[in-house]
């Protein structure tokens, strides 16, 4: 059946959105095309009308994921008192809401280790989308030059992603909370010192 004009684009976006969530929740290897399409009440065959292969979808899902978390952090910064933007961002990043929802959370926490194992080409694609978000968030991070701010931003967020990832492995709720609380002051100190 032939579909209305914007139908294809809309389906494509639904696929990317669902993939961004599934990949982060289950890992890129752990999330299959068939299950993804089934969630959208579609069949796996149709996937290839939208993407050449799974890797291409991963790249787009990654990009969406980075934009989502940056938006979330920017919103937290906007609500903060003057001069408290960076602290608000760190609190939001290491907050229970982010920790409990990896599916809509930072791709660094979800995908850095698996991307590190991928061939060069995948890694440069990762770098590209990461860099655009680093640039966006660097304005909140202190530093004499733009390069210094961007480097510090990369270290800060990759560091927080590591701790967030660890927190997600912890089964005891109280201990997880304690690790996150400790991490907040740790990273605030590191970035402002």
Partner DNA sequence: TGTACATCAGTGAACGCGCGTTCACTGATGTAC
Alpha-carbon gap, residue 144 to 33, rounded angstroms:
46
- Both structure tokens of 73: 């952090």
3 binds, among DNA, its own copies, none (CB under 5 to 8 A by kind): DNA
Count of residues that bind DNA according to CB under 7 A: 26
Interaction partner, residue 186 (DNA, its own copies, none; CB < 5-8 Å by kind): its own copies
Instruction: Report what 39 binds from its own copies, DNA, none; CB cut-off 5-8 Å by kind.
Output: none
Residue 81 DSSP label = P
The one-character DSSP state at 79 is T
Q: How many CA atoms lie within 13 A of 65 on its CB side?
A: 31
Q: Is 79 in the site for its own copies (CB under 8 A)?
A: no
Nearest approach, Cβ of 75 to its own copies (angstroms)?
A: 23
**Interface characters, 92-121, with its own copies (x: CB under 8 A):** ----------x-----xxxxxxxxxx--x-
Distance CA(102)–CA(118), nearest Å, equals 21
Please name which of 93, 97, 117 lies closest in space to residue 107, comparing C-alpha atoms: 93
- Check binding of 166 to its own copies (CB under 8 A): yes
List the interface residues with DNA, window 42-81 (CB under 7 A): 42-50, 53-55
What is the closest distance, in whole angstroms, from the C-beta atom of residue 15 to its own copies in the complex?
A: 22
The single residue listed with the structure tokens 């809309």 is: 10
Residue 29 exposed, middle or buried by CB count within 10 Å (0-12, 13-18, 19+)? exposed
Binding of its own copies at residue 58 (CB under 8 A)?
no
Angle among Cα 51, 56, 57 to the nearest 5 degrees reads: 75
Q: Choose, by CB under 7 A, the member of 13, 33, 74, 91 that binds DNA.
A: 33
Of the pair 29, 172, the CB lying nearest DNA is at: 29
Q: Give the interface with its own copies as residue ranges (CB under 8 A).
A: 25-27, 29-30, 102, 108-117, 120, 123-124, 126-127, 151-152, 154-156, 158-163, 165-166, 168-171, 178-179, 182-183, 186-187, 189-191, 193
């Amino acid at each position: 059946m032939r579909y209305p004009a914007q139908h294809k684009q809309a389906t494509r976006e639904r696929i990317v959105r669902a993939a961004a969530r599934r990949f982060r929740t289950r890992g890129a290897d752990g999330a299959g095309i068939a299950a993804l399409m089934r969630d959208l009440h579609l069949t796996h065959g149709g996937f290839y009308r939208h993407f050449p292969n799974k890797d291409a979808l991963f790249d787009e899902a990654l990009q969406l994921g980075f934009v989502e978390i940056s938006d979330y952090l920017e919103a937290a910064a906007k609500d903060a008192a003057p001069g408290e933007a960076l602290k608000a961002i760190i609190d939001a990043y290491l907050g229970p809401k982010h920790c409990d929802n990896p599916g809509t959370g930072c791709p660094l926490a979800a995908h850095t280790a698996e991307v590190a194992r991928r061939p060069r080409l995948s890694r440069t694609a990762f770098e590209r989308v990461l860099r655009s978000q680093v640039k966006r968030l660097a304005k909140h991070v202190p530093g004499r030059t733009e390069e210094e701010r961007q480097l510090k931003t990369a270290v800060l967020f990759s560091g927080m992603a590591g701790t967030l990832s660890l927190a997600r492995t912890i089964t005891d709720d109280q201990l997880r909370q304690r690790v996150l609380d400790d991490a907040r002051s740790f990273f605030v100190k590191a970035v402002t010192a």
